[in-house]
Structure 1
């Protein structure tokens, strides 16, 4: 990653310069707004042909809540990893507090991912996160991540 980031929105190519995740486990399609180290807004396009819908659930496909939480964690990590001292670190999800799921996410929808960084140090990050579709809240939580240097 360079010190100069391209203009927004950031697509998959830029996202993969920040996150260590790769297919099939990148759950952020684009970043549309960012205040590095403080807040971020991204989006996840949920493909209608996503293989996991064959089993979750065959007659009523729903994006699993754990995937929504992972997408939120990846999005929040992108905001945190903009700090030059933290570039190259890996954020490991260590806690999810006050998680609430309010709306199901269906195939073909676009999920808006928002995170506000509440606390950030070289070792621990706390973020308030929210996922929504068309302005309707799907999930909220407070997430905690431990940062580890990439080896």
Structure 2
């Protein structure tokens, strides 16, 4: 599969091997409310393919200012949601409980549609490289429509608890 083909239709045909809930995700990444932006992750192929889910609530803090009369989830937070879905699913494997994933770069990000209050983001993630430096291709969909896509690169950084 090429780096630009992590499409939702294909991912929805794959069997779910495991579903990680928010508590399991929190055991792998340091994010907490109000900045925890992923609700569950479906493991489709260990170390290769995941599907992140985010139920965007109407009372999300960022809707107060982005934009008060026309609330839209900021695109950078959609990218952050994709990142957290990856980290929440894979970091215990990569870091063995030590370190945190930090962005190295966000490449070829494209924003193609809006994410509104009460939408559900479905985020297919394909791992391109896994290790101290990891790379993924991720997309985000609302109601089957592509709204965001990007290639994300991470480095395993030291946490303050290491």
TM superposition score normalised by structure 1: 0.87
Query: Counterparts of 2:33 and 2:95 in 1: how far apart (Å)?
Result: 27
- Give unpaired runs (5+ residues) of structure 1: 1-6
- Give unpaired runs (5+ residues) of structure 2: 1-16
1:57 and 2:61 aligned: no
Query: Counterparts of 1:94 and 1:85 in 2: how far apart (Å)?
Result: 16
Corresponding residue for residue 3 of structure 1: none
RMSD, aligned CA: 1.7
Task: Say whether the 8 Å CA contact 1:36–1:79 is kept in structure 2.
Answer: no
Corresponding residue for residue 105 of structure 1: 115
20, 31, 36: which one aligns with 1:21:
31
Task: Say whether the 8 Å CA contact 2:55–2:120 is kept in structure 1.
Answer: yes
How far is 1:85 from its partner?
5.2
1:137 and 2:143 aligned: no
- 1:72-87 correspondence runs (5 A): 72-83=82-93, 86-87=96-97
How far is 1:9 from its partner?
2.7
Query: Counterparts of 1:84 and 1:99 in 2: how far apart (Å)?
Result: 25
Query: Counterparts of 1:36 and 1:148 in 2: how far apart (Å)?
Result: 22
124, 133, 140: which one aligns with 1:114:
124
**Secondary structure at 1:83 match in 2:** helix
Shift in alpha-carbon separation, 1:39–1:87, aligned structure 2, 3 A:
farther
TM superposition score normalised by structure 2: 0.82
How far is 1:129 from its partner?
0.5
How far is 1:149 from its partner?
3.7
Query: Counterparts of 2:96 and 2:48 in 1: how far apart (Å)?
Result: 14
Matched residues, number: 144
Shift in alpha-carbon separation, 1:70–1:85, aligned structure 2, 3 A:
closer
1:38 and 2:48 aligned: yes
How far is 1:107 from its partner?
0.4
